[in-house]
């Protein structure tokens, strides 16, 4: 079972469209790492993902707070919490333990982490890695994304996204 995919996204609208497709396959208990330079489209993808999952309102970049929680309600009895981490300014692995961030990774949540390399010694292994690269696509400054799964659940999510 191939669990690596590459996709070109011509512009921000294409990134948001991909987020809608990915949202259809998102299930609780997923950890997704987002890699790429500043401005590569990581936060745009998270914003699109949250809106596609039903969040109404602004999506703040958690650059200074490190994490923003979003409760997504499917119906009266079913929901998940998506935790959007931005570890760009993360400096102290002891802070990870003292803040209780480890508890956010559970069967009822999806954790999406920008800049995971800043906390690589304390983070769990991701179910999915998404790497953004800026490139020229059809005369636009677009992105190429590479996705890889590292768990059975990650493989199921990516195959549901790409089939």
The pTM score is: 0.92
Q: What pLDDT does 76 receive?
A: 64
DSSP string, the chain: ---EEEEEE-SHHHHHHHHHHHHTT--SSEEEEEE--TTSSHHHHHHHHHHHHT--S-----TTTSEEEEEEESSSS-EEEEEEEE-TT---HHHHHHHTGGGGSSTTEEEEEESGGGGTTTSPPPSEEEEEEEEEETTEEEEEEEEEE-SHHHHHHHHHHH-
Q: What pLDDT does 137 receive?
A: 67
* pLDDT tens per residue across all 163 residues of the chain: 457 899 999 889 999 999 999 999 999 999 999 999 888 889 999 999 999 999 988 888 887 788 999 999 876 677 889 999 999 988 888 888 888 888 999 999 999 999 999 998 899 999 999 999 988 766 777 889 999 999 999 999 999 998 8
Contact residues for 116 (Cβ-Cβ < 8 A; gap 6+): 33, 34, 35, 85, 87, 123, 126
Q: C-alpha dihedral over 141, 146, 147, 150, to 10 degrees? A: -150
8 Å CB contact between 44 and 16: yes
Length of the chain: 163
Q: What pLDDT does 1 receive?
A: 45
């Amino acid at each position: 079972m191939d669990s690596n995919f590459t996709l070109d996204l011509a512009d921000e609208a294409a990134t948001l469209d991909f987020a809608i497709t990915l949202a259809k396959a998102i299930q609780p208990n997923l950890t997704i790492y987002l890699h790429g330079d500043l401005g590569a489209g990581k936060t745009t993808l998270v914003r699109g993902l949250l809106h596609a999952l039903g969040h109404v309102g602004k999506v703040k970049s958690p650059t200074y707070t490190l994490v923003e929680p979003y409760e997504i309600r499917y119906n009266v009895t079913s929901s998940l919490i998506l935790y959007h981490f931005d570890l760009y300014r993360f400096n102290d692995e002891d802070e990870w333990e003292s803040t209780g961030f480890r508890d956010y990774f559970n069967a009822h949540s999806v954790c999406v982490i920008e800049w995971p390399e800043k906390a690589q010694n304390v983070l769990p292994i991701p179910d999915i890695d998404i790497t953004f690269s800026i490139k020229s696509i059809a005369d636009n400054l677009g992105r190429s994304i590479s996705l890889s799964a590292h768990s059975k659940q990650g493989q199921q999510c990516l195959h549901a996204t790409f089939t």
